Amino acid sequence: MEDRIIKTEYAEVMQKSYIDYAMSVIIARALPDVRDGLKPVQRRTLYDMHELGIRYDRPYRKSARIVGDTMGKYHPHGDSSIYEALVVMSQDFKKGLPLIDGHGNFGNIEGDGAAAMRYTEARLEQITQEAFLADLDKDVVDFIPNFDETEKEPSVLPVKIPNLLVNGSEGIAVGMATNIPPHNLAEIIDATKAYMLDENITTRELMRYVKGPDFPTGGIVINQDELLEIYETGMGKIKLRGKVEVEKAKGGKTNLVITEIPYTMIGANIGKFLMDVAALAETKKTQDIVDITNQSSKEGIRIVIELRKDADVENFKNMLYKKTRLEDTFGVNMLAISDGRPETMGLKAIIRESVSFQYEVAGRKYRNLLAKELERKEIQEGLIKACNVIDLIIEILRGSKDRAMAKACLVEGKTDGIKFKSKESKVMASQLMFTEKQAAAILEMRLYKLIGLEIEALINEHEDTMANIYRYEDILSRRDSMAQVIMNELDGIKEKYKRKRRTQITNAEEAVYVEKKVEEMDIVFLMDRFGYARTIDTATYERNKEAADAESRYAFVCRNTGKVCLFTNTGQLHTVKAMDLPFGKFRDKGVPIDNVSNFDSAKESIVYAASQSDLNLYRVIFATKQAMLKVVDGGEFDVAKRTVAATKLADGDEVVSVTAFKEQRNMILQTKAGYFLRFPVEEIPEKKKGAIGVRGMKLAAKDEIEAVYYSQNAVDQTIEYGGRTLELNKIKPGHRDSKGVKVRV
């Protein structure tokens, strides 16, 4: 047993294992091959469909059948990854050139996923069959063993176009990622032909043909001048905008209609965009929005934003570019596998690799075709020769005892054992000298081939074969001839599958959004006992003052450009911008204060609320359960943070009362045990907000402050306590940090 134990450094084992894992992910999972532009899962899925005969001109087959067969034969990494790859290759809003024809629910541009694989069906697209899988039977690519060495799979598909550029790719490996935008098929083919005609062509010259990315969702690329560097280095950032049209609506209103979106917005980001636009209205960033609707359908994107009559349309459009993903960035990283290694390549390098692959595939294809034509030529010449001496061959066949004897005579001229009608026939037979293949073809030839028309057809076929041989030899011996063949195929693909460019390429000025200055005014903050807050204008408040005061826990005037301060029992101060609160009618419900602040109603409660502008004018009095008191300058609470500590608390203590110090003269502390202490407010020292304060009352064991009241000298003020009315100014006066008096119920 000891002999089997291998002693090695643990760090070395981990390093080697991680490198092996990383390379497996990089090479065999996440990154595409520069030659066919496909990841292994995509390549295997397409090849499996080809093997299953699910062609473009045949019936659809269940996706589950395709996924199961691919997983069992070629890709043992789980059905979800295979089905996801199949779905993406069928989505015309993700791929510039869909490779699979999906039947059923294959998801949509708004992010809804495809139906389960048991419900959907698929087959190959025609271009996939013609430009990706053709010639696989002509030994044009190497076949390698599958994962369990029971099947063979192509190491690369013989793709006839630079698919890496046409369809793009995205993937995250270990320590690296690829993100290649899709391009227009016709432009890429034109650029490929230009490179084949002049291999010294520059990237700038290639960009006469390739204007830039061509995203399936359209949109506008707005940094055209930066594309040259991106295509030279293979890295950079493409700035994208959605396409916005202005339509006149009823009543003199204007509609902004988004008909194309940035490629980066597809999926859930469309919903996020709608939420972001709605949030602009809710947070008062703009008051130009009347309504927003998503009228998108199978025909295309149509998001309608209805604006007010007097809206500045251009400024609003720029705000959308600035505040939402209607303008976004596509990070380009053109990373692919080249010669078994990950490499970042520019436009010219990718085209160069693709063209080199095309020459390799074409060379193997025409060598294979030439070998077959030479074999056919040999047989045809044997049959033509046999037709000229058919009487002698029949005599040999009739005189032979078996097939082997007849074949030996045809190939080697052996006449022993064969009965001939004359010596001349025997002499002629000994001089035939057919090849093995010719002899086999002669022995298998049917009698109807001796008909005159059949012989004439054989001669014509031989002439065609000779023409093919001459053509194939010319293609293989002259690079110009092979280049012309490749370019002719590219022209055919372009003519059949080209489409108009969808993405507009231009240089656009940066969107400049000028925020409208808010007209400063007084508004009234209202918050009910359930924590729903809102603001209304002062005139509305004055008209409904009695109802507002009765229904609201807090009601006070503040500036619409200011903040509302919320003090909690935990000693925290939460600030809320007045602009973040809904401004509307008196009977509007408002929003939970939790939604617009860091306040958490499950863990704390509000003990005081005031406008920050008011606090700046006064001092603030704090009182806690353990009778700790202090006065703090209200200016200390003019903070930028949404949440700060308003006071320091001892363990187990909490804030009972916070009040702005205005005209109060006396503080009255009431404990749970029924003790009351009245003393002048001036006895409370001023402290910083980070201080714990001073003791305001001597408490008995387990007693605590329950309520805090304030009174003015010579002003009668009463409270209800223990079922009777208690006059605060008749409570025996004392001093801070004394016991107080017991009030009998």
With CA atoms as reference, report the closest residue to 366 among 479, 494, 460, 464: 479
Question: What is d(CA 649, CA 567) in angstroms, rounded to the nearest whole number?
Answer: 13
Instruction: Dump pLDDT digits (tens) for 240-280.
Output: 999 999 988 887 788 999 999 999 999 888 888 998 898 88
Q: Which residues contact 444 (CB under 8 A, 6 or more apart)?
A: none
**Tens-digit pLDDT profile for residues 453-467:** 577 888 888 899 999
* Residue 730 placed within a domain: yes
CATH code for the domain of 320: 3.30.1360.40
Distance CA 311, CA 315 (A): 9
pLDDT tier at 359 (50, 70, 90 boundaries)?
very high
Query: Would 345 be classed as within a structural domain?
Result: no
The two structure tokens encoding residue 597: 């602040």
Any idea what the CATH number is for the domain that residue 375 is in?
A: 1.10.268.10
Tokens linked to 664: 């109060």
- Among 91, 67, 87, smallest CA distance to 77 is for 67
Q: What is the pLDDT of residue 27?
A: 64
Q: Are residues 526 and 671 in the same domain?
A: yes
Statement to judge: residues 607 and 649 lie in one domain: yes
- Tell me how far CA of residue 738 lies from CA of 576, 627, 675, 692, in angstroms: 38, 11, 11, 19
Q: Is residue 143 part of a domain?
A: yes
Most confident of 290-299, 448-457, 511-520, 624-633: 624-633
Do 546 and 478 belong to one domain? no
Kindly name the residue from 119, 554, 675, 710 that is annotated as catalytic.
Answer: 119
Q: Cα dist. 208→180, 199, 201, 233, 596 in Å?
A: 20, 15, 11, 18, 53
Q: Are residue 463 and residue 549 in the same domain, yes or no?
A: no
% pLDDT > 90, the chain: 61
CA distances from residue 18 to 12, 23, 259, 339, 455 in whole angstroms, order as listed: 10, 9, 47, 22, 68
Q: What is the pLDDT of residue 604?
A: 93
- Both 408 and 539 in one domain: the answer is no
Q: Which long-range contacts (CB under 8 A, 24 or more apart) does 61-65 make?
A: 61/121, 61/122, 61/123, 62/117, 62/118, 62/120, 62/121, 63/104, 63/117, 63/118, 63/120, 63/121, 63/122, 64/117, 64/118
Report the C-alpha gap between 651 and 656 in whole angstroms. Answer: 15
Residues 6+ apart with CB under 8 A from 83: 63, 67, 114, 117
| SS3 of residue 513 by DSSP | coil
Point out the domain boundary residue: 139, 159, 179. 159
Mark which of 309, 325, 341 sits at the end of a domain. 325
| Tens-place pLDDT, residues 341-358 | 899 999 999 999 999 999
Element spanning 123, H or E: strand 121-124
Determine the Cα–Cα distance for residues 330 and 315; give it in Å rounded to an integer.
24
Nearest CA to 444 among 479, 408, 397, 409? 397
Task: Say if residue 314 is in the same domain as residue 371.
Answer: no
Distance CA 586, CA 547 (A): 10
Look at residue 246 and give its three-state secondary structure. strand
Closest alpha carbon to 392 in 361, 418, 417: 418
Report the alpha-carbon distance of residue 279 to residue 269 in Å, rounded: 15
Average pLDDT, the chain: 89
Residue 460 sits in the same domain as residue 386: yes
Residue type (1 letter), 239:
K
Structural contact between residues 24 and 17, judged by C-beta atoms closer than 8 angstroms: no
> Which stretches does DSSP call E strand in 354-398?
none
Count how many domains the chain has.
Answer: 4
Model confidence over 379-399: pLDDT tens digits? 888 888 888 788 788 887 888
Q: Collect all residues with Cβ–Cβ distance below 8 Å to 394 and sequence separation of at least 6.
A: none
| Same domain assignment for residues 435 and 556 | no
Is 119 considered catalytic here? yes
Provide the CB-side half-sphere exposure for 349 (13 A, CA). 16
Residue with tokens 């508004």: 523
Task: CATH number of the domain at 562, please.
Answer: 2.120.10.90
* Helix or strand holding residue 317 (H, E): helix 313-323
Nearest in space to 576 (alpha carbons), one of 657, 661, 647, 641: 641
Structural domain includes residue 340: no
Which CB contacts under 8 angstroms, 24+ apart, belong to 205-213? Answer: 206/231, 206/347, 206/348, 206/351, 207/231, 207/347, 210/165, 210/183, 210/184, 210/347, 211/184, 211/187, 211/501, 211/505, 212/238, 212/503, 212/505, 213/168, 213/181, 213/182, 213/183, 213/238, 213/330, 213/503
Alpha carbon of residue 548 to chain centroid:
49
Residue 166 in any domain: the answer is no
For 129-165, write each residue's pLDDT tens digit. Answer: 999 999 999 999 999 999 889 999 999 999 999 999 9
Q: 434 and 535 in one domain?
A: no
Which residues have a Cβ under 8 Å from the Cβ of 533 and sit 6 or more positions away? 525, 526, 527, 564, 576, 581, 590, 591, 592, 593, 596
Question: Are residues 461 and 600 part of one domain?
Answer: no
CATH number at residue 109: 3.90.199.10
The answer to whether the predicted template modeling score (pTM) of the entire model surpasses 0.85 is no
Tell me the per-residue pLDDT of 123-133, one tens digit each, with 9 for 90 and over.
999 999 999 99
Rg of the chain, C-alpha, whole Å: 43
**Domain hosting residue 283, numbered range:** 243-325
Under the banding of pLDDT at 50, 70 and 90, the label for residue 535 is very high
Task: Give me the mean pLDDT over the 695-719 stretch.
Answer: 89
Choose between 483 and 312: higher pLDDT.
Answer: 483
Per-residue pLDDT band for 1 (boundaries 50, 70, 90) equals very low
Which two tokens mark 411? 């190939």
Strand partners, 572: 645
Which of 159, 193, 221 is the last residue before a domain boundary?
A: 159
Query: Does 642 fall in a domain?
Result: yes
State both tokens at 195. 């490179």
Give dist(CA 190, CA 210) in Å, integer: 8
The confidence score (pLDDT) of residue 398 equals 80
Tokens representing 484 are: 């012309």
Cβ within 8 Å of residue 248, ≥6 positions away: 254, 255
Predicted local confidence at residue 24, as pLDDT: 64
To 5 degrees, how large is the angle CA 262–CA 263–CA 264? 90
In a domain, 236, yes or no: no
Amino acid 369: pLDDT: 92
User: Within this chain, do residues 453 and 549 fall inside the same structural domain, yes or no?
Assistant: no
Same domain? 637 vs 737: yes
In a domain, 232, yes or no: no
In whole angstroms, give the CA distance from residue 31 to residue 334.
10
DSSP label at residue 45:
H
Secondary structure, 3-state, 564-600: EEEEECCCEEEEEEHHHCCECCCCCCCEEHHHHCCCC
430 beta partners:
none
Q: To 5 degrees, how large is the angle CA 344–CA 350–CA 352?
A: 130
Tokens at 692, concatenated: 């714990």
Between CA 469 and CA 471 the distance in angstroms is: 5
Say if residue 711's pLDDT is above 50: yes
Q: Which two tokens stand for residue 351?
A: 């085209």
Closest CA to 379 of 433, 442, 430: 442
